[in-house]
Structure 1
Amino acid sequence: MDIIHWFTAPLQYGFMVKAIWVSALVGIVCSALSCFMILKGWALMGDAVSHAVLPGVVLAYVINIPFAIGAFVFGVGSVIAIGFIKANTRIKEDTVIGLVFTGLFALGIVLVSKIKSTVDLGHILFGNVLGIADSDIIQTVIISVITLVTLAILRKDLILFCFDATHARSIGMNTTFLYYVLLSLLSLTAVAGLQTVGIILVVAMLITPGATAYLLSDRFDHMMLIAMASGMFASVMGTYISYHIDGSTGGCIVVLQTLLFLAAMIFAPKHGMLARSRQQVSES
């Protein structure tokens, strides 16, 4: 099969064209947010929120409201619950996060298994970008625009908050507001990600591109550009690969993102394993 046909063959199907564009958009948005998640050290929080929104999405389907509303309520609610339990018990934060997100995720699985619907709610877990409806595309575009515009407007404040919240507070920034802005964007972006890779894998899209870029650049602006480029590349190529091998689209996207991270971990010019080895040799 020649390379031109490899790229053009899927484009003769309308559902594949939609899937490629939606995957690219979600890849860009998740990657942009992932840079702030990495800088803040919120990998575990991203995991918690992305799983905790599941019951909210299912309940939103039951009462016929946009998935984003249910996800937002349960995403914010999960963090409030984490803060409450942490403040009123002797349990450490990482343990509390594990308790809350696994409990809510399990509740969501129970709801998915018991609620009869005209759509397969299992797609919430694993994604269904190949069968995405026009209404879901519109929702994904709206969420993406809100997220990217908010990140652009509050970029400097969010960078300082993620890098040093204590200093941000000392110079008069409303760090509580920034905390909930970032949390809200995380909850909304999880909804966009579940359309492509599902709840289970969306955390990879929210962490891996930023982690990859973090190894490749020390400047945040460059880090974000690299993350967005790698996220879009993995999303588009993962969709193509899933078509040709007849595999899970979400799985292919995340595997490709992981391979990009492994390549950066080994070959990054300054922070890669090979560069560190050469530096140790030269110093010895």
Structure 2
Amino acid sequence: MIETLLFPFQLVSMQEAFVMAAIIALPSALLSCFLVLRGWSLMGDAVSHAVLPGIVLAYIAGIPLLIGAFAAGMTCALATGYLSEQSRVKEDTVMGVVFSGMFGLGLVLYTQIETDLHLDHILFGNLLGVSPADLWTSGIVALIVTTALIVLRKDLLLNAFDPAQARALGLRTRWLHYGLLALLSLTIVATLAAVGLILTIGLLIAPGATAFLLTRRFDAMLIVATALTLVSSLLGVYLSFWLDSAPAPTIILLMTAAFIAAFIRSARRTRRAAV
């Protein structure tokens, strides 16, 4: 019985999947807390979809796909910021237009080239097919993002809640704004090989939203989000083996279930407090 339960850990592809899941858990969990507090859920969705044309153009140019993905993600973020500042249209509307346009451009470009690159792997990830290069790339990016978020967490937190006070204290709020967007793009690059463009948004929103319902202190929120993401990621990979399902959607389903449970708990606690 024990040997059967431990069998997935003996497969090389599963071992690499476990390692990749653990690598991307930390930066995505930490970043999700800041995105939830800033109200940037749609921004995460926008950037994750907008990297597709960058990937296709990078393939055509013969450069690493992740470079194209990061460039496209930052282009989307900068374009959204510029257009929202120069027009009366609200930022969420601009984001919707920009990311849908870039995603459409990516699909059109993809249909015009001949490649053995599978679109479903780009959209939904291929956690069981990650290469050592993917592990190293995601590991380096995860280290950069995690370090930056931990070092700048107080400044980013103040800028999220009170930008005017942050400016009064001498913080470079514009640098913090676009720095967070850069970290968002880097995190999407790190998770691209594992969960793809479509499911990345689940990793970037669900942990922070769930932790927000369960905690009242930001530091505790970071810890809860990280623990939730790590457990859901490792358990999702493990369960996917026995369910014969794809690991990435299984991970997202576990996170969704955790959010629903946290929501029910929070609602009950609110009703008891009202009584």
Q: What TM-score range do you get, normalising by the shorter chain?
A: over 0.9
Counterpart position of 1:231: 229
Distance 1:189 1:100, change over 3 A: same
C-alpha displacement of 1:7: 4.1
Distance 1:168 1:6, change over 3 A: farther
After superposition, where does 1:128-139 map in structure 2 within 5 Å? 128-139=126-137
- SS of residue matched to 2:62: coil
Counterpart position of 2:52: 54
CA distance in 2, matches of 1:25, 1:99: 32
| Letter paired with 1:47 | D
Structure 2: 5+ residue stretches without partners: none
- Residue 76 of structure 1 is aligned with which of 58, 74, 77? 74
Counterpart position of 1:15: 13
Counterpart position of 1:280: 274
CA distance in 1, matches of 2:49, 2:224: 26
C-alpha displacement of 1:149: 1.1
After superposition, where does 1:178-193 map in structure 2 within 5 Å? 178-193=176-191
CA distance in 2, matches of 1:173, 1:7: 52
CA distance in 2, matches of 1:21, 1:196: 11
How many residues are paired up? 275
* Residues 152-194 of structure 1: CA deviation (Å, up to 9, x unaligned): 2212211111222221112111011111110011001111122
* RMSD over equivalenced CA pairs, Å: 1.5
Distance 1:5 1:261, change over 3 A: farther
The answer to whether the 8 A contact 2:125-2:193 is kept is yes
- Percent identity reads 45
- SS of residue matched to 2:239: helix
| Letter paired with 1:275 | R
- SS of residue matched to 1:118: coil
- SS of residue matched to 2:88: coil
The answer to whether the 8 A contact 1:58-1:121 is kept is no
Residue 168 of structure 2 corresponds to residue 170 of structure 1: yes
- Residue 157 of structure 1 is aligned with which of 142, 145, 155? 155
Distance 1:110 1:7, change over 3 A: farther
TM-score, length of structure 2 as denominator length: 0.95
Counterpart position of 1:107: 105
- SS of residue matched to 2:133: helix
- SS of residue matched to 1:197: helix
- SS of residue matched to 1:122: helix
Distance 1:215 1:6, change over 3 A: farther
C-alpha displacement of 1:55: 1.2
The answer to whether the 8 A contact 2:26-2:146 is kept is no
CA distance in 2, matches of 1:241, 1:190: 24
CA distance in 2, matches of 1:27, 1:7: 23
Structure 1 runs, 4 residues or longer, greater than 3 Å off: 4-7, 87-90
CA distance in 2, matches of 1:151, 1:82: 22
Residue 144 of structure 2 corresponds to residue 146 of structure 1: yes
Distance 1:122 1:58, change over 3 A: farther
CA distance in 2, matches of 1:27, 1:225: 12
| Letter paired with 1:120 | H
* Residues 186-212 of structure 1: CA deviation (Å, up to 9, x unaligned): 001111122111100101100000000
TM-score, length of structure 1 as denominator length: 0.92
The answer to whether the 8 A contact 1:112-1:122 is kept is no
